[in-house]
Amino acid sequence: MKDIRNIAIVAHVDHGKTTMIDQMLRQSGTIQAHREMAERAMDSNQLEQERGITIVSKCTAVIYKGTEINIVDTPGHADFGGEVERVLKMVDSVLLVVDAFEGPMPQTKFVLRRSLALGHQPIVVINKIDRPNARPDEVLDEVFDLFVDLGANDDQLEFPVVYASGRDGYAMLDPNEESDDMTPLFDAILREIKPPGDDPEAPLKMQVATLNYDDYMGRVAIGRVFAGRMRVGDKVVLVRRDGTKSNAKITKLFSFVGLEKVETEMIEAGDLCAVTGMDDILPGETICDPDHPVSMDMIEIGEPTLSMILMVNTSPFAGQEGKFLTSRQIRERLDRELEHNVALRVEDTDRPEAFKVSGRGELHLSVLLEQMRREGFEMQVSQPEVIVRVDENGKKTEPLEEVVIEAPSEYAGTVIRKMQERKGEMTHMMQNSDGTQRVEFLIPSRALIGYRTEFLTDTRGAGIMHTNFHSYGEYRGDIERRRGGAMVALEQGATTAYSLFSLQDRGTMFVGPGETVYGGQVIGENNRENELVINPTKGKKLSNMRSSGTDEALTLAPPVRFSLEKAIEFISEDEYVEITPESIRLRKSVLHHGKRKASSR
């Protein structure tokens, strides 16, 4: 058998997991020194590169002192926690990466809780010790307290610690030592993590953790062989989620080396691999020996907390920019997404053109919508709503978020007041060494919808907010969201600078001059709470007494442009976001002003 170590790198978002993997690939010699390698090479998805975050878990492997170290890079954002939950069962331990200044954050707690429950013995990596305000000793104490709070056993509390700078590519066992490479981290992995104890002579058993799709090979299942051997051409049995069984044949096998999958003839117990030949396989299902078709325990995935209605685009501009417009095409795309996005749920509604899509959070859902619009889909979505449950005592409960906010001290008072107005409960407060304040809250998930933009305004862009799902708690009553009303276009036409200039004192505009709008489109936010129907297409009446050239130049404030996430956050319950490959527009669900007025009565 090969000498193998299987590890996952887990951490809160932006604590340096993917950058650290870059250094491990380079310094192990897996990626040759002369070969060009993009920064954060594991983030190969276009959306990942643009946003600077990991969205999908990926496997790689490095060879160090004759040992193959299989590494799984995991997302650090709470909305993609489903990806983390799937892959933790594939590995024997984790590298828990913690920022040397920020310390443990909400997602750190989430991934550590899952890892400890599986019996892993984590290696703690205190990263970014090169930061000028790093506080590695205090962060180590905070990590130890977190292990205690999560019920770690005595062995897990004796965790090894490595200090590192993933960006500069060095690691050490003592922050006062000097080092110029990652050797201490590699040695710690070989020393502290046990090789897999899986039996290659037992009947085959492989569990699928994640899926890829290849245009030539079809569906590619990625997972770990927990027992036996798997060879190309073997006949196997696939045991499904519902307990049914079907016969299949292994057509291709791949192991991981660096950034590539390498075709191989055989995989033994304890190794991670990719396999083709099963076009209808799903995550969590088991590939077995035909004579011993016994399923492994299914991978438990947390339930969604947020839902929205996704519909066919019905605006007057529908069909002008996209290729895929019908409910059948949208449903087929959602079904394909369900095959690998296990934290997503899709349900039919009483309307054939609308579907209820549920996920872990706004980012989880908006990434799906962004991928669809780039593929040529047109659609519209409703305001997100939290998924409310009723407990065994008949009480209504709702999802609560754990929120960590770091902001300059002069803005902390405003932030605390806003959070309390949104039914937030302060759980912890401390002064950081750099003059900022760190405040922690427990707050309903729905209270955070639409708050991020307001938070950045309140802190002049200097605040940082991290969230993670905490639990379901008692429903906390009504929460006021958007304060301003909508400015809604009266009729279709091109906007004029003359009209926008006269309207801009009424509120904030979302469109500039010369843009085509339609009746019922939301083109601004009113300073007051009421809806304001306006005509942005009105032009100046010219006569022989005056002309457009005789007036002074009009000065317009630049319009506010929405990203997809901000648009979804902004809309009210009677509004939709229209999403096309080229445009993001806000609109009323009922476009005609008269009908809207009648229904409100």
- CATH number of the domain residue 234 falls in: 2.40.30.10
Residue 534 near residue 505, CB atoms below 8 Å = no
- Find out whether 130 is annotated in a ligand binding site: yes
- The answer to whether residues 136 and 221 belong to one domain is no
The CATH number covering residue 540 comes to 2.40.50.250
- Find out whether 60 is annotated in a ligand binding site: no
- The answer to whether residues 66 and 134 belong to one domain is yes
Of 44-48, 522-526, 586-590, where does mean pLDDT reach its minimum? 44-48
Q: What is the pLDDT of residue 47?
A: 63
pLDDT band at 587 (very low <50, low <70, confident <90, very high): very high
Question: Which of 295, 319, 210 has its CA nearest to residue 256?
Answer: 210
Q: What is the pLDDT of residue 210?
A: 80
Q: How far apart are CA 476 and CA 447, in angstroms?
A: 10
Residue 423 near residue 447, CB atoms below 8 Å = yes
Helix/strand/coil (H/E/C) assignment for every residue in 253-285: EEEEECCEEEEECEEECCCEEEEECCCCCCCCC
- pLDDT tens digit sequence for 209-219: 887 777 777 77
Q: What is the pLDDT of residue 372?
A: 92
- The answer to whether residues 40 and 143 belong to one domain is yes
Alpha carbon dihedral 482, 483, 484, 488, in 10-degree steps, equals: 40
Q: Residue 99 above 80 pLDDT? A: yes
Full residue range of the structural domain in which residue 525 is found: 486-600
Mean pLDDT of 103-126: 84
- Find out whether 520 is annotated in a ligand binding site: no
pLDDT-above-90 percentage for the chain = 11
Q: Residue 269 above 70 pLDDT? A: yes
- The answer to whether residues 31 and 91 belong to one domain is yes
- The answer to whether residues 509 and 539 belong to one domain is yes
CA distance readout (Å), 88 to 84, 115, 144, 210 = 6, 7, 21, 11
Q: What is the pLDDT of residue 163?
A: 92
Structure tokens at 52: 């600077």
123 inside domain? yes
- pLDDT tens digit sequence for 115-167: 888 888 899 999 988 888 888 888 899 899 888 988 888 888 889 999 988 88
Q: How far apart are CA 49 and CA 537, in angstroms?
A: 39
197 inside domain? no
CA 386 to chain centre: 17
- The answer to whether residues 41 and 155 belong to one domain is yes
Q: What is the pLDDT of residue 131?
A: 85
Structure tokens at 359: 């996920």
pLDDT-above-70 percentage for the chain = 90
Q: What is the pLDDT of residue 53?
A: 63
- The answer to whether residues 145 and 213 belong to one domain is no
284 inside domain? yes
381 inside domain? no
CA 353 to chain centre: 27
Question: Which of 369, 287, 347 has its CA nearest to residue 579?
Answer: 369
The CATH number covering residue 132 comes to 3.40.50.300
What does residue 411 show for φ and ψ, rounded to 5 degrees? -105, -5
559 inside domain? yes
Of 4-18, 235-249, 474-488, where does mean pLDDT reach its minimum? 474-488
- pLDDT tens digit sequence for 56-96: 677 888 888 888 888 888 776 655 666 677 788 888 888 89
Domain C-terminal end among 164, 192, 220: 192
Higher pLDDT, 112 or 30: 112
- pLDDT tens digit sequence for 178-211: 888 888 898 999 888 888 888 888 898 998 888 7
Q: What is the pLDDT of residue 550?
A: 45
Q: Which helix (H) or strand (E) holds 569?
A: helix 564-570
- The answer to whether residues 580 and 510 belong to one domain is yes
406 inside domain? yes
- The answer to whether residues 38 and 183 belong to one domain is yes
- Find out whether 129 is annotated in a ligand binding site: yes
The alpha helices in 375-461, defined as continuous H runs, are: 409-421, 451-458
Average pLDDT over the chain, rounded to an integer: 83
198 inside domain? no
At residue 82, the 3 state secondary structure works out as helix
Q: What is the pLDDT of residue 91?
A: 87
Domain C-terminal end among 413, 445, 474: 474
Structure tokens at 492: 């279709």
Domain C-terminal end among 270, 288, 306: 288
- The answer to whether residues 534 and 566 belong to one domain is yes
Q: Residue 264 above 80 pLDDT? A: yes
Q: Residue 589 above 70 pLDDT? A: yes
- Find out whether 18 is annotated in a ligand binding site: yes
Q: What is the pLDDT of residue 258?
A: 75
The alpha helices in 279-361, defined as continuous H runs, are: 327-338
Of 61-70, 107-116, 516-525, where does mean pLDDT reach its minimum? 107-116
568 sits in the region (left: phi over 0; alpha: psi -120 to 50; else beta) called alpha
- The answer to whether residues 30 and 178 belong to one domain is yes
- pLDDT tens digit sequence for 399-425: 888 888 888 888 888 888 888 888 888
Of 34-43, 331-340, 402-411, 425-434, where does mean pLDDT reach its minimum? 34-43
- The answer to whether residues 150 and 22 belong to one domain is yes
Quote the Cα angle for 43-47-51, to 5°: 85
pLDDT band at 239 (very low <50, low <70, confident <90, very high): confident
How many separate domains does the chain show?
Answer: 4
580 inside domain? yes
- Find out whether 17 is annotated in a ligand binding site: yes
Residue 272 near residue 207, CB atoms below 8 Å = no
